[in-house]
Amino acid sequence: MQTLRSRSLVAVVGALVMCVCVDAASATVVYGYPLTDRCPAAGVAEEVDRWGMFACNCTSYVAWALQANGQRLDWFVPGAMDAHNWAHVAKLSLLPIGMLPRRGAVVVWPNLEPPFGHVAYVTGVDSDGGFDVAEYNFPPASGAGPFLFDRRKDVSRTGAIFIYVPHRG
């Protein structure tokens, strides 16, 4: 009986944790990146994460967001996942890519912060064509300050490519 109660308690606690991690407006998991407490103030860690990305980088966060939202990760190519290369790797893996945002897509800016690029996770799409993202290490406009987790709203599609990553089957 104690074991059954313990399992029930674990299930309830697990469900509560998931609720904390979900953005209520979009029902998309955006909070809960497990490496946050290890990220240095500069935003870059010299540690490779479980997805083969450098921890605390935009690529690591987006890999986590894809996993947290039940989307495929089997298209990652070890050693070829700098942000500027994500659309190319997705195309080689026969994932659909395009120029329009969709909630749950990966947005790639291959020419931002050369030579690395930048990726973010699309959390919503506005009626005017703008979109919202959750991301790590987006360079602040001032060029100063730590690169950390942030959410941006009404982002422009200029220079963006979208990867429509399907859910795991």
CATH number of the domain where residue 52 is located = 3.90.1720.10
The stretches in the chain having pLDDT less than 50 are: 1-20, 24
* Residue 39 pLDDT: 79
Is the preceding omega at residue 140 within 30 degrees of 0, hence cis? no
Regarding pTM above 0.85, the answer is no
Domain count, the chain: 1
Q: Is residue 22 part of a domain?
A: yes
Q: Is residue 168 part of a domain?
A: no
* Residue 68 pLDDT: 97
Task: Please report, for residues 70, 72, 80, 119, the alpha-carbon distance to residue 92 in angstroms, rounded to integers and kept in the order given.
Answer: 21, 15, 12, 18
Q: Is residue 156 part of a domain?
A: yes
Q: Is residue 15 part of a domain?
A: yes
The total number of residues shown for the chain amounts to 169
- Per DSSP, the three-state class of 43 is coil
